[in-house]
Amino acid sequence: MFGIYLKRELSRRKKAALVIALGLALGIALVITVNSVSAGMQQAQDKVLKSLYGLGTDMTVTKARTAPTSGSSGRPKFDFDAKSDSSTTQSSDRVMTQGGQSLKSSLVTEVAAQKGVASAVGALSLNVTKVNGSFTQGKAKSSTSNSGQQGGPGGQNGGGTGAPQVQGGGASFDVNSYSVAGVDVTHQDLGPLATSKITTGKTFTAAQTSAKVAVLSKSYAKQNKYTVGKTFKISGTKYTVIGIATPDSSESTTDVYLPLKQAQTLGDAKNQVTTIYVKATDSKQIATVKAAIQKNISGTTVTTSADLADTVSGSLSTASNLATSVGKWLSVAVLIAAFLVAALLTSSAVSRRVREFGTLKALGWPSRKVTRQVVGESIVNGLLGGALGIALGLGAACTVTAISPKLTAELGSTGGGGGMGGGPGGGGPGQQAASAAKNTIDIALTAPVSMTTIALAAGLAITGGLIAGAMGGWRASRMRPADALRSVA
């Protein structure tokens, strides 16, 4: 009886049911869209942070660089000889550690022993500035002036010789700067190479701790036309390319990967690292692990993903803030309005059915049965609105994913890393511009919809139907048979 009556009443009042369902659908669709876009923003930020850290890294340990001493400027120095043979090309590499101050390799073991740390791996960041070119020596020539007259007993010429002048000569040099990362080849799942995958060739093996081999980033290899098997030199040491790495999420900020011991030899940094990559046993205890490391290992800077997220700016940060604040509050406001409209429309529909409900009560229907009928109709309207809302929300999310708007993430400095400023070692203005370009990442926005979001939408639809049904049922339960007779009269 309940199902038959429910079906008949809904078919009689299609317009009213459709209006209520559409109101709920719009609110639910907005909730799904905002949640999916927010999830896409979170994924985009995770990609940005993984491009800096590496997959699985929860925090890094560094040490701030100290100011150079009075006898050292901290800038690279190049020495060349002005040879007479202008066809001879001279070349010089200047290798310097970049980022923070070097740490002892023994600190890696000390960090790994801290409570809450699952694993810790050290890495060494280097900056190589290569200068090559040639000098052409100038030639001194003297100018002679002649008066054309004989003078003196010796019959010497009366002309004079002018001061010698240097003519020709000069220099032509090319400056190239690139970054090198020393990788612990025995723990490649954590560290600078963890964020990339080998697309050509192979990666390091555990036995290559001291091997003169290298893995290049795809962009650097393409720029310099390096392929697997080719060799190149850094400071006179020849390295063989064994693999080409492609970053998982963004443009790599490292050009060359070497075994850690080889990088330490190049940078004259034996048993030293610049960054310690840390993975926590529990992602919810990262703040506790950070505090423990800072307390037990003094003088270090511990940077977590939350700290890095605060340095991300640009359109990604702006859109994320809008989705988090304005978008969520807007969806809540629209949803509340949809619930209220559904409740008012249901109550209004009940008031127009005075004769019907009064007659049912006169026939012996108890108030709870009348209330159940109204609530049942409202829940069906809510489920219909939920289905429409889920369809609209999925459509909106798919549209955002199909368009994939580009967002820009600009990565700021957290104090422990970053390039060195000033002079050839820091690259000067050109190198700073290149560093800024590498710190700007373009991310395509997607809007993934999870089953949790769909379940939330279904729950909201049922909640909306219950609210509307409760208000309408309360009003219907207060009607009396006399109200029906009065309506007929």
Query: In 3D, which of 138, 137, 159 has the Cα closest to residue 148?
Result: 159
**What's the distance, CA 162 to chain centroid?**
68
Ranked by mean pLDDT, the top range of 70-74, 84-88, 220-224, 314-318 is 220-224
DSSP state of 66: P
Comparison of pLDDT for 57 and 159, the residue scoring more: 57
Each residue of 424-454: pLDDT tens digit?
Answer: 333 333 333 344 444 566 777 788 888 988 8
pTM, full prediction: 0.57
Query: In 3D, which of 52, 125, 59, 63 has the Cα closest to residue 301?
Result: 63
The DSSP secondary structure of 143-169, one letter per residue, reads: -EE----EETTTTEE--EEPPPEEES-
Residues 6+ apart with CB under 8 A from 465: 24, 342, 375, 378, 379, 380, 381, 382, 383, 385
Find the DSSP H helices in 352-450.
354-362, 367-403, 423-426, 428-438
Amino acid present at 281: T
Confidence of residue 31 (pLDDT cuts 50, 70, 90): confident
Percent residues over pLDDT 90 in the chain: 20
Each residue of 256-296: pLDDT tens digit?
Answer: 999 999 999 998 889 999 999 999 888 788 889 999 998 88
Lowest mean pLDDT among 108-112, 127-131, 335-339: 335-339
Beta bridge partners of 165: 141
**242, pLDDT greater than 60:** yes
